[in-house]
Amino acid sequence: MTMLSWFSADLHIHTVLSPCAELDMGPVNIVKAARELKIDIIGITDHNAAGNVVAVRDRAGKEGPVVIPGMEVQTREEVHLLSFFPEVKQLQAFAAYIRERLPPVRNRPEIFGDQVVVNGGERILYFEEILLVNSVTASLGEVVKEVLARDGLVIPAHVDRGAYSILANLGFIPPALPVAALEIARPEKLPDLLLCYPAVGQYPFVSFSDAHTLSQLKGRFRTYFYLKQPNFTEIKKALQGEGGRKVVIRQGPGSD
Amino acid sequence: MKLADVVRELELEVLAGPDLEREVTGGYVSDLLSVVMARAKAGQLWITLQGHQNIVAVAVLLELAGVIVAGGIEPDQETREKAEEEGINLFTTSLPVFEVAGRLYRLGARGIDHA
């Protein structure tokens, strides 16, 4: 029987594919920083696209960190939703679904920044031309259904922010929405959030860096999972509190 | 003014209209439901681009006169069903939000009491 142990995780990281991320957020630097910071599991979650997940996973290789395939979707309600999948192939199928629902607006790099798809060695493969920081035409409910149909899980992002947040935009978490956890940007303010939105207390909380720059990877807070193995399935079980698995938020190396 | 007057004057499409005799006491515009919950008042007609079913719950909570989903946005199917269930007046229009608010104002609706 495998014992449970603690794994540090940062499941909300942007790469150079996100126009708002800095150009040094490539696979080589991200993997190097994650190793230095002793982050065991990372999630690559670019806006409405997944083109750099394989590159980061290739770069991480056997040495790690473990890379969970993911995406940060912006639904038509302008809600940011982290979605994660057991395998890259499910993410890629989901990415195709999302791409068909992106408005046909071209990126203007001089305003938004470049959207770069690279390989594991940071060779540029191509520039994504459709603007990724936009709302897709699918609703929150539809997007969640598509993620779950591909064995994924969803975590509404930075619910405590004033913008792109499920709580700000929709007032409360729709009761029947199957969300695995809520991401909170400022865990130190959780008591205030619970005062305003008592119902969110029923969900597990996680806190990730939402890093767009290398220095942000330090993270003011870090989330730790108590798991048998560092993988998607175990994380899902931990969020459900299954078999002694659990999740906690602690101060990160980037805290003041 | 009654909701039925607004529907006629603005040529709104009625998705759910259980009480079109309801008096409209004013108007409110926002797409952030958290802000609507904090600031809209009972009897107001709310204009938004959000088509998510939570708009019905907010309308119930605040006892709004109704909700207009503007800009040609199609509300989610669940939203229509919830509106029927909860007895909330729900409308759509292809007019942009600014135009809807302007026409509503011209009909006499106000956003603040002393205006």
Q: Which of B52, B74, B78, B79 has the highest number of chain A CBs within 10 A, making it the mutation to test binding with A?
A: B52
Task: Name residue B72's amino acid.
Answer: G
Say if the Cβ atoms of A169 and B78 lie within 8 Å. no
Distance, in Å, from the CA atom of A11 to the CA atom of A18, rounded to the nearest integer, reads: 15
Per-residue pLDDT of chain A (256 residues; tens, 9 = 90+): 679 999 999 999 999 999 999 999 999 999 999 999 999 999 999 999 999 999 999 999 999 999 999 999 999 999 999 999 999 999 999 999 999 999 999 999 999 999 999 999 999 999 999 999 999 999 999 999 999 999 999 999 999 999 999 999 999 999 999 999 999 999 999 999 999 999 999 999 999 999 999 999 999 999 999 999 999 999 999 999 999 999 999 998 887 6
Residue A197 in domain: yes
Note whether residue B115 is domain-resident: no
Residue B74, domain member (yes or no): yes
Going by C-beta distance under 8 Å and a sequence separation of 6 or more, which residues neighbour residue A62?
none
Out of A78, A168, A174, whose CB is closest to B53? A174
- B43: in domain: yes
Token digits of residue A135: 């709302």
User: pLDDT by residue (tens digit) across B66-90?
Assistant: 999 999 999 999 999 999 999 999 9
The DSSP bridge partners found for residue A66 are A41
For residues A70 and A12, give the distance between their C-alpha atoms in angstroms, rounded to a whole number: 9
Beta-carbon separation of B52 and A78 below 8 A: no
Domain count, chain A: 1
Q: How far apart are CA B113 and CA B115, in angstroms?
A: 6
Q: Is residue B113 part of a domain?
A: no
Count up the domains in chain B and report the number: 1
Please give the Cα distance from A158 to A163 (Å, whole number). Answer: 9
Residue B81 resides in a domain:
yes
CATH number of the CATH domain containing B40: 3.40.1390.20
Tell me, yes or no, whether B60 lies in a domain. Answer: yes
Structural domain includes residue B53 = yes
The pLDDT value given to residue A256: 64
Interface contact B75, partner A, CB < 8 A: no
Tell me which residue of A162, A208, A161, A163 sits closest to A183, measured CA to CA: A208
Residue A79's domain comprises: 5-251
| Structural domain includes residue A62 | yes
Does residue A51 sit within a domain? Answer: yes
Residue A128, in any domain of the structure = yes
Q: Does a structural domain hold residue A183?
A: yes
Question: What is the CATH classification number for the domain harbouring A206?
Answer: 3.20.20.140
B111 found inside a domain: no
Residue B101 has pLDDT above 70, yes or no: yes
Domain contains A201: yes
Looking at residue B43, the DSSP 8-state letter turns out to be T
* Contacts (Cβ under 8 Å, ≥6 apart) of B85: none
pLDDT value for A2: 79
Q: How confident is the model at residue B114 (pLDDT cuts 50, 70, 90)?
A: low
Alpha-carbon distances, residue B23 vs B5, B45, B56, B64 (angstroms): 10, 10, 18, 10
User: Under an 8 A CB cutoff, do A140 and B58 touch?
Assistant: no
At A57 the pLDDT is 98
Which of A172, A179, A195, A197 is the best mutation test for B, with the most CBs of B within 10 A? Answer: A172
The b-or-e profile of A140-159 (16+ CB within 10 A means b, else e) is bbbbbebbeebebbbbbbbb
- What helix, strand, coil percent values describe chain B, rounded to 5? 40, 20, 45
Q: Is residue A256 part of a domain?
A: no
Residues of B in contact with A139 (CB under 8 A): 51-52, 76
Give the nearest chain A residue to B54 (CA atoms): A170
